[in-house]
Structure 1
Amino acid sequence: MHGQVWVKGGQLLVEGPSENGEAATVIPAPEIVLVVNRQACTGLTPLSSRDEIALIPRVELVPGTLNIDISPNRMQAWIEIKPEVKTSYVLVDQPPASHIQLQSKPIVSTVLPWTVHQVIDLLREKGVIFGIIEDRIADFLGRGQGGRFLAAQGIPPSLPVDEQVEILFETANKGTPVLRTDGGVDFKNLQIYTSVSQGTLLATKSEGIQGQDGTAVTGETVPSPEPKRYPFKPDRNTELSADGLTVRAVLSGRPMVTREGDTYRFEIVPELEHNADVNLKSGNISFKGDVKIAGAVAEGMTVQAEGQIEISGSVSGAIVQGERGVVIKGNVFSSEIRAGGKGAHLAKYLALLTELTAEYERALVSCNQLLQSGSASGKPITAGQAFMILVDHRFKSIPLQVRQLQNMVSTTKKARLWLPESLEKASGFLAKVFLSIELVSLETIIPLVIALKDLREVRTELTQLSERRSDIVLASVTNSVVEATGSVRIGTQGCYNSTIIADSGVQISGSLKGGFIQSKGDVTVASVGSERAVSKTKIQLQREGKVKVDLSYPELIIQIGNRSVTLDRPMRRIMVTLDKGTDDLDLQGLTV
């Protein structure tokens, strides 16, 4: 029987041969060394079941690699591992035959030949000593596969809080109509020009906050970035606070801000130049400095300024209010022109407030005495009861004065003129107490004392406002109201059917026809009235003033103090004064 050879389960098996049979033969596979009877065989090799056969497969080993990569910011350490690769060979199964050529197939296995502690030691050798993630290292090694993973994580520095800048004024011209609270659209107050008063806070900023420092995987401290700084640079008419965090206006005017890199530069332009007409296109102008208008002011428009107003064109059916004066080079028709601003229309309150304050002060003294007397007699009364008794018997004028004050405040508000908040507050409290039954309910005198303090403050404020002297200069004026805390001067084109109120005198270089002049200073007029038309004109002065008229036609009424005279014939070179000795008017002049 001939011999047989085969491969099963990677094992080389041999059977036979018998005594007279032929031995089976094999040709070894190049990847596996065939050892027969302790001799390595190559080429055609006979085999029998009596032979000692061994197979020694060749083993190929590719060593693994471990690389450590530290990020540029030293916040992370990454490990990239390539595993150790082992390749060995086994025989491919073959059926029994008298001769076979052995064939092999590779068996590949991978392994990570490092322990967790070995990896940590390698990290430390590379300088990684902080933030090592042992659990992640162990997990990765346990998978036995290559790859890249995060082995250490530092603590990054926290971001700083940059300085926060807040600009407190409108930096962009609006020029769009606004919706009123009643649902209508206001086409006049377009707020094209932004302006601020002296002392107004223009901008503020919060200080930056430094972030927390971090720690790199190498153990080094990583400083937090500096917070971004935005310096304020005060320019014309602005000032910077000592701490550098706020900017204020030194003068009233138009605030401007420009950014140069990270620096904010501020300035106040004290004068506004409007090189066009004031109409619905431009909207009303309200400015906290001086205003120059190259064009005219259209009907229904308003120009207000805390400084001086100068208008090159005409003004028709408009309101012009300049706290430090008004100059109008064109003609004025059916308009309201005021200089002295807030104080111009409030001077009339002073006399009433002076009388009311004095009377009220006397009433409070009497009230306190009445309260003390009642307490001493064992019959105490409330402050409201005491004051009610005094008002009914000795101080009957107080409710009348309070009602007059309330009516004046109401009239001023209806005219949409400015009122000090203190005046509204005092008027409201006094009306609530003296024009209703609330006076009786007052238990203590304290609210009444506070009201006296408010009255005094209001009187002081109005006195300061009325002392500001602001002049008005007009080319001509017709059917208008002109009111100044200083003087009023009107050019050669004259004044017609208008009301002129001035604290420091009136001068009209042209004709005065109709209307009313009230002045605390002298009044000088070139001519009054005309030959053709008779128009009543009245000039009213205080006791100290004088009236001078170069030429007057009939129907001129001149009043100085409580005395008045009516001119019933044409006269020249008229001068009227009040003789303090006789308390009569002294009229001088030539009959025409």
Structure 2
Amino acid sequence: MDKVGTGLNTNDIGNLNGSVEVKNGKIIVKNPIGAGEYAKIILNNDCKLFVNGKKIRETSIVKENDEILFDREEIKGKRHINIKTNVDNTEARVNINYETGFRYEIKDAIENNVLALEHNEVRGELPPLFTATEIVNYLHENKIIMGIKKEEIKLIEQSRDIKDFCVAASTPAEEPVQDKIKMVYNDNKDEENTDTMRKIDYKNKIFIESVKKGDIIAEIIKGSLGKEGISIYGKKIKTKPVKELKFKVGSGCSLEGNKILATIDGKISVGKNIFQVNKLHTVNGDVDIKSGNINFHGDVKVNGKVTEGMNIVANSINVVGGTFKANIKVNDSSIVLGNMVNTQIKIGGQDLLKQKKGQELLLLKEQLQSLLENIIFLKEKKLIDENLTDGYLVKTLIESKYKTIPKNCTAIIGIELANLDGKSELISIIRKKLIGVGPINIKKYTEIEEIIEVLNNEMELLEIENTLSKDLIIEYCQEVDIEVTGNVSIIGKGSYISKIFAMGNIEFTGEKSQCKGGHLKADELIKVNIVGNEVGVGTKLQVEKNGHIYADVAYENTIFIVGKRKHVLLKDSKDVHAYSDKNGEIIVDKLYL
């Protein structure tokens, strides 16, 4: 504290009020003359002023002979260090910042009977830089003992701008290399040149992936074990286990050593990770009332057409003459040449259900991850009643904000029940913890992480089982309903008012192929030459959020859907490309015709 001012003597020249002023940082007081009033000081709340050793808290009278002291309180600079670790605790990074100190200095003020005292904050000095020793000690205080980078930490002593600086790094666990199946049978096939695909006479080309007895179909490639790691806290990090490679060798195949061989001539089928070679059934004519419906375990080739009201159930089909009002269900990749009219065709069998299950699992996982992040935020910010159990919190959030979770769960249970006896672990968890009052059974919110892990395992299993896509090649379709687990290739005139759903891509490869009306939906890619027409027939093209839609020409009233965003084309355009940006908004690049 400094003694900042004393009063000055004045001659009696009548009645005159006393005064107080601040000059060059000193408080100068003059007593009143005659019946004048003594000077007063009004104190700012942040100022500390002592008069005759007593701290002043409000407006105070001051006199010449008073000892007035202003406290030049000095606030020292501060150092802040924050440490964060990565998910598996194998790395620690720090952020360091320094706050400059300051002190209060009294402001000069002109002479007055009543003076409101004010002050300035004067910048002081920065605190000293952290030393390497202090940083290491800080890490030890936070129980970080492994992988401390002592040499790199010395650089912290040379800078005040330390952001996301790695101070410790231990050894992460190495994931195992999983066993895998390498498909061999099609490696030696001559690949088609995509530039010449339009010139091929597909009606004379047999699209059967055939093998001969003794051919190698697939090879089992052995993986390797992972390695344990160690965290920066000195704890072991377990590696993931090597998962058993699940596959079966069905009819027409045998396992010899690490190779799967064909034991008969026929067509390869790989579904649900079951390897089979099926014999071929050929119909030399039409499938009609005379031939009857076809229900065959193997593959079917029709050298004519499939006529009105006829049904085909097979592993795969190759139809030369088109279909009319037919119903076709097959498990494997197929071809229908000629015109498809008013026909329903499903490619993939049980894999269609599995693909739908995979989509529902992914949606449920994304919702649960968001729910978990929401709960963590609410708890960290202490925005919820401490007496509220985690189970009731989960139930409340599902009912208020995550209403699609029960719908996803119901869809998954329906798919599971179509294939199983209803006793799977997944159904049990969903019923006990996610549907109805089930969330109340959750004791700790971290159980949601365990549910997410179960979903991950289910999705991994689905990926293993669906090693090959089941595709469809057609020339032209009109008022048809197509569902395919893989890709749809339209190599002729195109499609008209049809519903085509593919879990891979939809591509129009015919030179003048056109898509008029209907609804096309693919997971990854839709590529068309011409979509819509001059009179503005409505056509809907839809892909998932990471998918892309391309059109050489798109007419007015074409609807583009990417993820959950929709765009209606208001003017005829060319070179159209629809996709999602990083924020999930739909972008449609185009040039007007």
Is TM more than 0.5 here? no
Per the normalisation by structure 2, the TM-score is 0.42
Per the normalisation by structure 1, the TM-score is 0.42
Larger Rg: 1
